[in-house]
Amino acid sequence: MRVLGIDPGLTRCGVGVVEGSVGRPLRLIDVNVVRTTSTLPVWERLVTIEKALDAWIEEHRPDAVSIERIFARSDVSTIMGTAQASGLAMVVAARRGIPVALHTPSEVKAAVSGNGRADKAQVTAMVTRILRLDAPPKPADAADALALAITHIWRGGAHERITEAQNKYAAAVAAAGRGTR
Protein backbone atom coordinates (compact mmCIF):
# COMPACT_ATOMS: atom_id res chain seq x y z
CA MET A 1 0.00 0.00 0.00
CA ARG A 2 1.22 3.48 -0.86
CA VAL A 3 -0.05 6.31 1.34
CA LEU A 4 0.28 10.07 0.99
CA GLY A 5 0.36 11.65 4.45
CA ILE A 6 -0.63 15.29 4.68
CA ASP A 7 -0.01 17.52 7.70
CA PRO A 8 -2.25 20.42 6.64
CA GLY A 9 -1.24 24.01 7.11
CA LEU A 10 -1.62 27.25 5.24
CA THR A 11 2.00 28.38 5.67
CA ARG A 12 3.62 24.92 5.79
CA CYS A 13 1.79 21.84 4.53
CA GLY A 14 3.79 18.67 5.13
CA VAL A 15 3.55 15.93 2.51
CA GLY A 16 5.11 12.49 2.62
CA VAL A 17 4.65 9.23 0.77
CA VAL A 18 5.33 5.89 2.45
CA GLU A 19 4.94 2.43 0.98
CA GLY A 20 4.55 -0.88 2.75
CA SER A 21 2.23 -3.14 4.70
CA VAL A 22 1.67 -4.34 8.24
CA GLY A 23 4.47 -6.64 9.38
CA ARG A 24 6.85 -5.56 6.62
CA PRO A 25 9.48 -2.81 6.62
CA LEU A 26 8.09 0.50 5.40
CA ARG A 27 9.82 2.55 2.72
CA LEU A 28 10.05 6.31 2.30
CA ILE A 29 9.12 7.32 -1.23
CA ASP A 30 9.26 11.11 -0.93
CA VAL A 31 8.80 13.90 1.61
CA ASN A 32 8.64 17.69 1.48
CA VAL A 33 6.78 20.76 2.69
CA VAL A 34 4.57 22.96 0.54
CA ARG A 35 5.18 26.55 1.64
CA THR A 36 3.15 29.68 1.04
CA THR A 37 3.87 33.20 2.14
CA SER A 38 1.56 35.04 4.49
CA THR A 39 1.79 38.16 2.32
CA LEU A 40 -0.41 36.55 -0.35
CA PRO A 41 -4.22 36.47 -0.11
CA VAL A 42 -5.57 33.23 1.36
CA TRP A 43 -7.19 32.15 -1.91
CA GLU A 44 -3.86 32.39 -3.75
CA ARG A 45 -2.16 30.38 -1.02
CA LEU A 46 -4.88 27.72 -1.30
CA VAL A 47 -4.38 27.51 -5.06
CA THR A 48 -0.65 26.97 -4.50
CA ILE A 49 -1.37 24.16 -2.04
CA GLU A 50 -4.02 22.60 -4.31
CA LYS A 51 -1.65 22.54 -7.29
CA ALA A 52 1.14 21.03 -5.20
CA LEU A 53 -1.08 18.31 -3.71
CA ASP A 54 -2.49 17.49 -7.12
CA ALA A 55 1.06 17.17 -8.49
CA TRP A 56 2.05 14.87 -5.58
CA ILE A 57 -0.94 12.62 -6.24
CA GLU A 58 -0.21 12.59 -9.98
CA GLU A 59 3.44 11.71 -9.43
CA HIS A 60 3.13 9.18 -6.60
CA ARG A 61 -0.28 7.58 -7.28
CA PRO A 62 -1.15 6.79 -3.63
CA ASP A 63 -3.70 4.11 -2.71
CA ALA A 64 -4.92 6.30 0.16
CA VAL A 65 -4.48 9.77 1.62
CA SER A 66 -4.04 10.20 5.36
CA ILE A 67 -4.73 13.67 6.78
CA GLU A 68 -4.40 15.00 10.30
CA ARG A 69 -7.84 15.51 11.84
CA ILE A 70 -8.26 19.14 12.90
CA PHE A 71 -8.89 19.86 16.56
CA ALA A 72 -9.58 23.15 18.35
CA ARG A 73 -6.59 25.12 19.51
CA SER A 74 -6.47 28.49 21.20
CA ASP A 75 -5.59 30.46 18.05
CA VAL A 76 -8.67 30.59 15.81
CA SER A 77 -6.73 32.05 12.86
CA THR A 78 -4.42 29.01 12.89
CA ILE A 79 -7.39 26.63 13.02
CA MET A 80 -9.02 28.32 10.03
CA GLY A 81 -5.95 28.06 7.81
CA THR A 82 -5.34 24.47 8.86
CA ALA A 83 -8.99 23.56 8.27
CA GLN A 84 -8.94 25.20 4.83
CA ALA A 85 -5.80 23.28 3.83
CA SER A 86 -7.29 20.06 5.24
CA GLY A 87 -10.52 20.47 3.30
CA LEU A 88 -8.56 21.20 0.17
CA ALA A 89 -6.52 18.00 0.64
CA MET A 90 -9.72 15.98 1.02
CA VAL A 91 -11.17 17.47 -2.16
CA VAL A 92 -8.00 16.86 -4.19
CA ALA A 93 -8.01 13.18 -3.16
CA ALA A 94 -11.78 12.71 -3.53
CA ARG A 95 -11.71 14.25 -7.01
CA ARG A 96 -9.46 11.35 -8.05
CA GLY A 97 -11.44 8.71 -6.16
CA ILE A 98 -8.69 8.09 -3.60
CA PRO A 99 -9.87 7.03 -0.13
CA VAL A 100 -9.23 9.60 2.59
CA ALA A 101 -8.58 8.82 6.25
CA LEU A 102 -8.45 11.35 9.07
CA HIS A 103 -6.23 10.55 12.06
CA THR A 104 -6.05 12.53 15.29
CA PRO A 105 -2.68 13.79 16.52
CA SER A 106 -2.85 11.49 19.57
CA GLU A 107 -3.67 8.49 17.37
CA VAL A 108 -0.64 9.26 15.19
CA LYS A 109 1.64 9.73 18.20
CA ALA A 110 0.45 6.46 19.72
CA ALA A 111 0.88 4.58 16.44
CA VAL A 112 4.46 5.63 15.81
CA SER A 113 5.78 5.98 19.37
CA GLY A 114 3.46 3.96 21.58
CA ASN A 115 2.59 7.13 23.50
CA GLY A 116 -0.40 9.30 22.54
CA ARG A 117 1.23 12.24 24.33
CA ALA A 118 4.64 11.99 22.66
CA ASP A 119 6.27 15.29 21.75
CA LYS A 120 7.39 16.28 18.25
CA ALA A 121 10.98 15.20 18.91
CA GLN A 122 9.84 11.69 19.90
CA VAL A 123 7.60 11.38 16.84
CA THR A 124 10.41 12.55 14.55
CA ALA A 125 12.86 10.12 16.16
CA MET A 126 10.47 7.21 15.69
CA VAL A 127 9.67 8.15 12.07
CA THR A 128 13.42 8.24 11.42
CA ARG A 129 13.82 4.80 13.00
CA ILE A 130 10.73 3.20 11.40
CA LEU A 131 11.75 4.34 7.91
CA ARG A 132 15.46 3.62 8.56
CA LEU A 133 16.47 7.14 7.53
CA ASP A 134 20.01 8.50 7.84
CA ALA A 135 18.73 11.82 9.22
CA PRO A 136 15.47 13.06 10.71
CA PRO A 137 13.06 14.63 8.22
CA LYS A 138 12.85 18.40 8.67
CA PRO A 139 10.92 20.50 9.40
CA ALA A 140 8.50 18.88 11.85
CA ASP A 141 5.66 19.21 9.30
CA ALA A 142 7.51 16.78 7.00
CA ALA A 143 8.01 14.26 9.83
CA ASP A 144 4.35 14.62 10.81
CA ALA A 145 3.23 13.89 7.24
CA LEU A 146 5.31 10.70 7.25
CA ALA A 147 3.89 9.75 10.66
CA LEU A 148 0.38 10.15 9.21
CA ALA A 149 1.22 7.83 6.31
CA ILE A 150 2.78 5.26 8.67
CA THR A 151 -0.28 5.40 10.94
CA HIS A 152 -2.61 4.72 8.05
CA ILE A 153 -0.59 1.77 6.81
CA TRP A 154 -0.44 0.26 10.29
CA ARG A 155 -3.97 1.12 11.47
CA GLY A 156 -5.99 2.14 8.43
CA GLY A 157 -6.62 -1.37 7.20
CA ALA A 158 -7.87 -2.49 10.60
CA HIS A 159 -10.16 0.52 10.85
CA GLU A 160 -11.59 -0.20 7.38
CA ARG A 161 -12.23 -3.86 8.33
CA ILE A 162 -14.00 -2.81 11.55
CA THR A 163 -16.17 -0.32 9.65
CA GLU A 164 -17.00 -2.95 7.03
CA ALA A 165 -17.95 -5.46 9.75
CA GLN A 166 -20.14 -2.85 11.49
CA ASN A 167 -21.88 -2.08 8.20
CA LYS A 168 -22.52 -5.80 7.54
CA TYR A 169 -23.87 -6.22 11.06
CA ALA A 170 -26.18 -3.22 10.69
CA ALA A 171 -27.43 -4.55 7.34
CA ALA A 172 -28.07 -7.99 8.87
CA VAL A 173 -29.96 -6.46 11.80
CA ALA A 174 -32.01 -4.33 9.41
CA ALA A 175 -32.75 -7.35 7.21
CA ALA A 176 -33.77 -9.42 10.23
CA GLY A 177 -36.06 -6.63 11.37
CA ARG A 178 -37.74 -6.49 7.97
CA GLY A 179 -38.23 -10.27 7.95
CA THR A 180 -40.21 -10.33 11.20
CA ARG A 181 -42.93 -7.94 10.16
pLDDT in tens, 28-59: 999 999 999 999 999 999 999 999 999 999 99
Interatomic CA distance for residues 17 and 67, integer angstroms? 12
Domain range enclosing 22: 2-179
What secondary structure letter does DSSP report for 148?
Answer: H
**Residue 63 annotated as binding?**
no
CATH code at position 169: 3.30.420.10
Residues designated catalytic: 7, 68, 141
**Residue 68 annotated as binding?**
yes
Interatomic CA distance for residues 95 and 92, integer angstroms? 5
pLDDT of residue 163: 57
What secondary structure letter does DSSP report for 63?
Answer: S
Supply the Cα-derived Rg of the chain in whole angstroms: 18
Provide the pLDDT confidence category of residue 156 given band limits of 50, 70 and 90. Answer: confident
Q: What is the tally of structural domains in the chain?
A: 1
Interatomic CA distance for residues 63 and 29, integer angstroms? 13
pTM for the full model? 0.86
What secondary structure letter does DSSP report for 104?
Answer: -
SS3 172: helix
Selection from 125, 88, 91, 120 nearest residue 105 by Cα: 120
**Residue 7 annotated as binding?**
yes
